[in-house]
Amino acid sequence: MSDFDYDLFVIGAGSGGVRASRVAASHGARVAVAEEHRVGGTCVIRGCVPKKLLVYGAHFAEDIHDARKFGWDVPDCTFNWDVLRDNVLAEVDRLEGLYGQTLDSHKVTLFKTRATVVGPQKVRLADGKELTAERILIATGGWPHVPEFPGSDHAITSNEVFHLDALPKRIVIAGGGYIANEFAGIFNEFGSKVTIVNRGDTILRGYDEQIRDRLLQISMTKGIDFKFNAPFQSIEKQEDGTLTVHLENCEPIEAEAVLVAAGRVPNTKGLGLEEIGVALDEKGAVVVDATNQSSVPSLYAVGDVTNRIQLTPVAIREGQAFADSVFGGKPTLVDYANVPSAVFSHPPIGAVGMTEAEARNRLGSVRIYTSDFRAMKNVLAGRNERALYKMVVNEATDQVVGLHMIGPDAPEILQAAAVAVKAGLTKADFDATVALHPSMAEELVLMK
C-alpha cells in the first residue's frame, strides 16, 4: 500500500477536475476531490450551460415575432424573467447532482470544502485536516476580473447575473469579449435597454475582423448601444436603487444593473502554490509543460487555471490526457491546433483556424472566399439580417486554414466543418462535395 492517503488529490470539481478524477479512478487510482463552491464548476454552475439556456430563451423573442409571417396567429406575449431564471437554476441543480453521482460511482471521495496546498504532496482542508497525496492536480478554473474603481462593488459579474431578482430595464455591460456580447444579446431580446461599454475600440479581439464587424453592425441595428474608448470612472448608487455610471469621454449612464465582463483570471489566489515553489505567470496562471506538470514535479494543473485556452472542452481533454498519462500508462498530449470556438451572440459566431490577418502574417499568400447572404427564414420573415461565411485558404497548398461564420446556427454548422479544417482538407475537397439544398450550410461548398 502507498504511504499516501490518496494517489491523486484534485482541487476543483469543474469539467477538467471531474474528468481527471473519474478517469484516474477508473485506472485504479485512489482519488479525492475538494470543491469549495458547487460540483460542476464554471461551465455547469455559472457559465456555458445556464448561459446557453438563457440564449435559447432569448431566441423566442424573435421566433415568436417571425412566426406571424409563417401563418401563425401569435398574440402579443410578455416575458417572465422569474420563470426562466428559476427553471434554469433548477436545471443547474439537476446537473450538479449528476456530476456528484459520477464521482460517487467511480468511488472518488468528495470533500465539499476549500482545500489549499501546504506541501508538494500535502493539502489542508478548511477545517484544518491535512491529507497527503502522491500527486496533486490543480483544476480551480478562472474567476471574473473586476477592475477596482469607486463604486465597483455595485457591479455584478457573470457569477451573479443568473440570480437577478428582476429583469433590469437598463443594463450597462462592461467589456468587449464573448461574455459581454452574449449577455448583451440576451438582455436586449428580453427587452432591456443595453449599453456595452468598452475601454478599447474593438469587440471580440482574436476573431476575424469581418465577422466581428458584422456582429457590431447587427447588434446596433437591434438597438444595442456601444461606447468605445470609455473606461469606467465610478458607479454611484442613487436613493431609488438605480445606478449612475460615470465614464471617461462619455456622458453618465443611468441603469438598474451593471455587469462587468472584463475577462477572467486564473483562480490561484490563496491556494498556497507560490509558497511551495510552484511557478505562476504574470496573470497568476500555473505554468505547466505539455504533460500538464508544474515546476513542482508532484503537482499538475489543467483547465482555465493554466490560462492556455479557456474553453470547457479543452479542460476536459487536458484532464483526460493527464489521467491517461499518469495513471493509465497511455502517454497523451493535447493538440491545441484548430480548436473551434463559438460566441452565442445574436446572431451567433463560429470559428476555427486562422483569421485572415493571422494567415497573411504566417503564410504570406492566401485566398479568401466569402458568402454574404440572407437565410431563407429571414427572407420570409422580412428580417434584413445577413449571414456571413468566410473561408481562408493557403495559396501554396490549397488547404483550408480557417473558417469563420456569423448567422443562424453558425456554431452547429461550424462543429462539423471544423473536422475538415482539422483534417487538413483543401478548397478542392470542399468544392467536390455536393451541396445539401436548401440549407445555410451548403454555402460552405459553393464559395467561388
Confirm or reject CATH 3.30.390.30 for domain 347-445, answering yes or no: yes
Q: What is each CA distance from 168 to 81, 141, 256, in whole angstroms?
A: 10, 29, 5
Residue 310 Ramachandran class (φ > 0 left, ψ -120 to 50 alpha, else beta):
beta
**pTM score of the predicted model:** 0.95
pLDDT (tens digit per residue) in 242-286? 999 999 989 999 999 999 999 999 999 999 999 999 999 999 999
CATH topology identical between 6-144+265-327 and 152-262:
yes
Q: Which own/partner pairs from 148-153 qualify as long-range (CB within 8 Å, at least 24 positions apart)?
A: 149/232, 149/233, 149/234, 149/235, 150/233, 150/234, 150/235, 151/234, 151/235, 151/236, 151/237, 151/243, 152/232, 152/235, 152/260
Kindly give the pairing relationship between strand 387-394 and strand 122-125: unpaired
Q: What is each CA distance from 248 to 170, 229, 389, 442, in whole angstroms?
A: 20, 8, 36, 46
Reply yes or no on whether the pLDDT at 67 is more than 90: yes
Reply yes or no on whether the pLDDT at 2 is more than 90: no
pLDDT (tens digit per residue) in 284-338? 999 999 999 999 999 999 999 999 999 999 999 999 999 999 999 999 999 999 9
Annotated binding site: 52, 175-182, 263, 304
Q: What was the pLDDT predicted at 214? A: 98
Reply yes or no on whether the pLDDT at 376 is more than 90: yes
Angstrom distance (rounded) from CA 177 to CA 156: 16
pLDDT (tens digit per residue) in 170-212? 999 999 999 999 999 999 999 999 999 999 999 999 999 999 9
Angstrom distance (rounded) from CA 312 to CA 315: 5
What CATH architecture is 6-144+265-327? 3-Layer(bba) Sandwich (3.50)
- Could you give the percent of the chain with pLDDT greater than 90? 98
Chain-wide mean pLDDT for the chain?
96
Average pLDDT over residues 348-373: 97
Reply yes or no on whether the pLDDT at 33 is more than 70: yes
Reply yes or no on whether the pLDDT at 360 is more than 80: yes
Read off φ and ψ for residue 63, nearest 5 degrees.
-65, -40
Amino acid, single-letter form, for residue 168:
P
Annotated binding site for FAD: 52, 304
Average pLDDT over residues 348-376: 97
Contact criterion met (CB below 8 Å) for 444 and 430: yes
- 343 DSSP β-pair partners: 349
What CATH architecture is 152-262? 3-Layer(bba) Sandwich (3.50)
Residue in 37, 65, 106, 437 annotated catalytic: 437
Q: What was the pLDDT predicted at 5? A: 97
Annotated binding site for NAD(+): 175-182, 263
Candidates 262, 29, 239; CA nearest to 133 is 29
Reply yes or no on whether the pLDDT at 1 is more than 70: no
- Could you give the percent of the chain with pLDDT greater than 70? 100
pLDDT (tens digit per residue) in 394-415? 999 999 999 999 999 999 999 9
Q: What was the pLDDT predicted at 390? A: 98
To the query of whether residue 437 is one of the catalytic residues in this protein, the response is: yes
Domain boundaries, the chain: 6-144+265-327, 152-262, 347-445
